[in-house]
Amino acid sequence: MRYEIRVEGHVSETLTNAFPEMEHVVMSGQTVLFGTVIDEAHLYGLLVRCQSLGLRVMEMRQLPE
């Protein structure tokens, strides 16, 4: 499954390295992390990672294959 997670603000390159399995793009005051998510555990893991890095999740959705 492919997902995208939109977080508030422009995330620095350094911090995006904490998501090596995801690609990212910065746009209009948001950073979009996107890529393949292995399973639910991974998905929740990504959310916890956002939380522990102080990132504010605005939106998360599954992408069409």
Partner 1 sequence: MSATDRTAPDPAATGTDPVGDPYLRTRFTLPSRPTTFLRRRRLLDRLDQALRTPLTLVNGPAGAGKTLLVADWAAGLPSPVAWLTVEAGDQRPGVFWAYVFEALRTCGARAAEAAGAPANPGGVGHGLLAALAAELNARDRPAVLVLDEYDRVTAPEVAEQLEFVLRHAGQGLRLVLVTRTEPQLPLHRYRAAGELTEIRGAELSLTPQEADALLRLHGLRLPSHATSALVERTRGWAAGLRLSALAAQGSSDPERYLKEFEAGHSTVADFLLAEVLKGRTPQAQDLLLRVSVLDRFCPDLADALTLRKDAEPLLAELHRENAFIERLAHSWYRLHPLFREILRAHLRERLPGLEPELHLRAARWLRRSGFVAEALTQGAAGGDFDLAAGALVDDLAIGELFTGLRSDGLLQLFAGMGPEASSEASDLVRAAGALARRDLDHGLRGLRRAEQRLFDAEDRPDLAAARLSCTLLQALAARLTGCPPRAERAAAAAGQLLRDLPDRLLDEHQELTALLMTHLGSVRLWEGRYEEARTALLRGADAPGGSATVLPRTEAMGHLALADYLNGWPGRAERRARAAVSEGELAGLPGPPGAGLGRMVLAAVAVDRQELGRARSLLDETAGSPAREHDPVPTALRALAASRLLLDEDETDAAAEAAETAVPTTVASPWAQGHAAVVRSAACLAAGRPDEALRLLHVVSGEQPVCAVEAAAIQVAAGRPRAADDLLGAVRAEGRAGPAVRVGAALVRARAARDTGETDLARRLLARALLDARRERLRRPFLRAGEWIEPLLATSPLRELAEGWLLPGPPPGHGPPPGHGGQPRAVSETVPLVPVELSGRERDVLRRLARMRTTEEIAADLYVSVNTVKTHLKSAYRKLAVNRRGDAVNRARELGQL
Q: Which residues bind partner 1 (CB under 8 A)?
A: 7-15, 17-18, 29, 31, 51-56
| Nearest distance in Å: CB 64, partner 1 | 28
In terms of CB distance, is 2 or 23 closer to partner 1? 23
Q: Which two tokens stand for residue 40?
A: 């639910």
Within 10 angstroms of residue 14's Cβ, the number of other Cβ atoms is: 7
| Nearest distance in Å: CB 1, partner 1 | 23
Instruction: Report the run of H or E that residue 4 belongs to, with start and end.
Output: strand 2-8
The answer to whether the CB of 31 falls within 8 A of the CB of 10 is yes
| Nearest distance in Å: CB 5, partner 1 | 13
